[in-house]
Amino acid sequence: MTGVVIVLGIDPGLANTGYGVVQRRSGRLLALDGGCVTTRPEATTERRLSCIHTAIADLILRYEPDAVALEAIYFGQNVRSALAVGQARGVVMLAAGQRGLACHDYTPQQVKGAVCGSGRAPKEQVQRMVQSLLGLTELPQPDHAADALAVAICHANHAPLGAAKLRATRLESLAARTA
C-alpha cells in the first residue's frame, strides 16, 4: 500500500456504532470524517441493524476506503451485549463485503497500543492521542467516534507493514518457484 490509504474505522454497537474515516498520505494522518450511527432503542433489532448497514454502506460509497477496520468483540460479563455487538459487526462486514472491501479486526488492547503506546491506556488518553495524531482542534466526540478513529489509525499505521510482509512473502514464493 503506497501513496494514499483511506481506512474506515468502526467501533460497533447496536445502540451506537462509531465510525471514523482516516486518510494516510506519505506517513501523515488526516481525519476525513467521524461520528456515530445512533439507533432508536424502541426500534426492532432488524430495523436497528438495517439503519447501521445503510449508514455504513453510504460512508463506503462516499469515501471509497481501501479497508474497513473493526474493533474486536470484548465479551466482559454481558453476553447479551456481546451478541448485539456481534450483530452490528456482521452488518458492517456485510456492507464492506458488498463492495469487495477487506475487513480487519483489532482488539481494544491493540488499538490502545497503536495509538497510545500502552494497551492499558484510559479512554481519555486515547481521545487526546487521537486528537494529537490527527491534528484536531478539539477532542473527538462522542467516545464511540473517538474509538473508531483510533481503530482507523491503528490500521492505517499497520497496513503498510502488512503490505510489505505480503510483498515479501510473494517474492519468496516466486523465488522458490524459479529456483
* pLDDT tens by residue, 3-13: 899 999 999 99
Q: Return the pLDDT at 80.
A: 83
Band of residue 169 on the pLDDT scale cut at 50, 70, 90: low
Residues in contact with 106: Cβ distance below 8 Å, sequence separation at least 6, in sequence order: 69, 70, 71, 72, 114, 151, 154, 155, 158
| Rounded Cα distance, 167 and 171, in Å | 6
Q: Return the pLDDT at 1.
A: 43
146, burial (CB in 10 Å: exposed 0-12, middle 13-18, buried 19+): buried
43: three-class secondary structure by DSSP: coil
- Nearest Cα neighbor of 153 from 119, 103, 116, 122 is 116
- The per-residue pLDDT of the chain, averaged, comes to 90
- Nearest Cα neighbor of 159 from 47, 66, 43 is 66
pLDDT at 52 > cutoff 70: yes
Q: Return the pLDDT at 161.
A: 57
| CATH numbers and ranges of domains, the chain | 4-178 (3.30.420.10)
Of the two residues 171 and 159, the one the predictor is more confident about is 159
Q: Return the pLDDT at 175.
A: 72
Torsion angles phi and psi, residue 35, rounded to 5:
175, -160
Q: Return the pLDDT at 49.
A: 98
CA distances (Å), origin 4, targets 30, 65, 68, 70, 178: 11, 10, 15, 20, 33
Q: For residue range 82-114, list pLDDT tens digits in order.
A: 899 999 999 999 999 999 999 999 999 999 999
Q: Return the pLDDT at 135.
A: 96
Q: Return the pLDDT at 74.
A: 76
Q: Return the pLDDT at 166.
A: 47
Q: What is the dihedral of CA 73, 74, 78, 80, to 10 degrees?
A: 0
pLDDT at 179 > cutoff 50: yes
